[in-house]
Amino acid sequence: MRIPAALIDDAIRWRHQLHAIPELGYQETLTAGNIAEWLESFGLQVHTGLGGTGIVATLENGPGPAIGLRADMDALPIAEMSGVPYQSRHPGRMHACGHDGHSAILLGAARSLCLTRRFSGTLHFIFQPAEENLAGARAMIDDGLFRRFPMQGIYGLHNWPGLPAGHVGINAGAMMASLDTFEITLTGRSCHAAMPETGDDPLIAAAHLLLALQTITARHISPTDSAVLSVTQINGGVALNVIPDHAVLRGTFRCLQTPVRDRVKTLISDLVAALPPSFGVSGEVTFSVGYPVTRNHAAEAEKLRAIAVNTLGAERVHGNIPPSMASEDFAFMLDACPGAYFWLGADGETPSRPLHSASYDFNDALIEPGIALWHAIVETLLPQQP
């Protein structure tokens, strides 16, 4: 389908408006207010407040199944350095992951589908808060997303630097890794730095433990499996001449298979129990369970791949691509409902800046193919009744 130029212009304008007012997870009041107002102007049934600031807008058009299309709304705590005219007006916050673009694409699709209505069934346009580390998808589910708005399938997209603009990447399986975090507290015995033999140094234990933790993925997980473990913080001590009582290590691990995820957690616990005592130090670890693997349902992924080929051409659709070790909380929705998630390439004549970069800006050239894909998905999965 050819998307009208005026609609594309409107979607770009909406995107720029959203880009200028970035809000962090569960704080998307201005963002959600604007989106709800636009959706209401299209004539949709708009439901607000799901999972805090989430929105579901419903379009019913005759008999048939129901599906959901999802976009995320939140921004990141990054000071923007893109230099675009519509740059963030909120200091220390910016749309560095393209959620403004995802929302604009879904808004454009909602408006267009309200006008054309070449489908039979029910559409739920889902605008989700707090994707960045705060599990807004789970919050919407807990608040009754699938109970209040029953659907037979749910679909999401994310812009993707590294793929040419307008190309699609999709797997019939894992797309993104699980996310879990850990905090390890090492307790020793404080003493004067000039007399280390009188204490038990938790910093020495921390140094050895950091190196030992890297052997989990290097020596205990098969090279044919996928896992990454990173220690991202070490804290301990306040004075230059004092060996402290405590040291704390924090980090994250990400996996593409649930058994590997469980194995990594067990190995971290084993190392924390076994290694610090050899230095006279005790260790304790706590885990924060984050996001599951973002895993497409095979049948739904194959449907989307075929739709993308028909819409964009086979040369612009890439299957069996390497999954990302980054994470995405759309995983919760895929755990609760059949569906699929795909990447929409972001690289134009020059490569896109990386996601989460202070210099990143969503590529507006993706809005037209994004709207066209949502149209094709809806009109294929919800065909008109004869």
Give the annotated binding-site residues for Mn(2+): 97, 99, 132, 158, 356
Q: Per DSSP, which regions of 165-312 are E strands?
A: 168-170, 174-176, 179-187, 191-192, 227-235, 242-243, 246-255, 282-291, 294-295
Cα dist from 51 to 54, 141, 313, 358, 369, whole Å: 6, 8, 38, 28, 29
- Report CA Rg, the chain: 24
Residue 280 to residue 276: CA distance in whole angstroms: 7
Spatial strand order of the sheet with 179-187 comes to 227-235, 246-255, 179-187, 282-291
Torsion, CA 144, CA 127, CA 111, CA 41, rounded to 10: 80
Q: Which of 23, 28, 72, 74 is catalytic?
A: 74
Distance of CA 77 to the CA centre of its chain: 15
Q: What are 66's strand-pairing partners?
A: 122
**Max Cα–Cα distance, the chain, nearest Å:** 87
Cβ–Cβ under 8 Å, residues 122 and 33: no
**Binding site, annotated residues:** 97, 99, 132, 158, 356
Which residue reads 């058994």 in tokens?
Answer: 259
131 is catalytic: yes
200 is catalytic: no
Q: What are 349's strand-pairing partners?
A: none
The first and second tokens of residue 73, run together, are: 């709304």
Q: Which of 23, 131, 361, 368 is catalytic?
A: 131
Just list the catalytic residues: 74, 131
